[in-house]
Amino acid sequence: MHGPASPGWLLVALCAASGAYCLLRMRSPVEEQRRTAGAEALMGFGMAAMAVPAAAATPPRWAWFAYTAVFGAAALRALWSVRSSPHHLHHLVGACAMVYMAAAMAASPGHHGHGGGSGIPLVTGALLIYFVGYVLRSGARLLPVAAVAGGSGTLGGTPRPLGWGDRPELSQACRLSMGIAMLAMLVTL
């Protein structure tokens, strides 16, 4: 997670931008979209905080325990939400991956992303396989298909222009970006 400074700062920027866009999506009039956007914003900002290069700031050991607690709570919330929407299963895996990475960093604070083997190889490998599949699937969903007529959505049967927060392709690009960032963080664990 804490590798060389330049890629680390790019990862921080990518994750923070994704988190900021997810906050914008929380203005949606649809309750489920707001909840999903909130979970994704937490993930984006959490990943940005965890990706800060060690040369800039080395978090104290208690910070890793705090990340573990916050993302443990997010995992429990996602587990509860899975019963209403299978999309939350991905949030559950993502939150569990964040718990795993934070716990690994708390257990070996001296190996911050320098290939010190701070994670369990089998768990890290399984998460890498999951996120590679997720990234490939998300990328394939962004491929152009037959053009859909019109650039507006409906709200109560009344057509309205789509705002930045209601663009499904931007939401998917945001998820793809966070999936790629998660891969980068797992590889450096």
Tokens representing residue 98 in the block: 């964040």
**More confident: 165 or 41:** 41
Tokens representing residue 10 in the block: 């790019």
Q: Percent helix, strand, coil in the chain (nearest 5)?
A: 70, 5, 30
Cα-based distances in Å from 6 to 1, 16, 117: 13, 15, 22
Q: How far is C-alpha 82 from the chain's CA centre? A: 17
Q: What mean pLDDT is reported for the chain?
A: 83
Per-residue model confidence as pLDDT tens digits over 57-108:
888 889 999 999 999 999 999 999 898 888 789 999 999 999 999 999 888 7
Q: State pTM to two decimals.
A: 0.81
57: phi then psi, degrees, rounded to nearest 5 = -160, 125
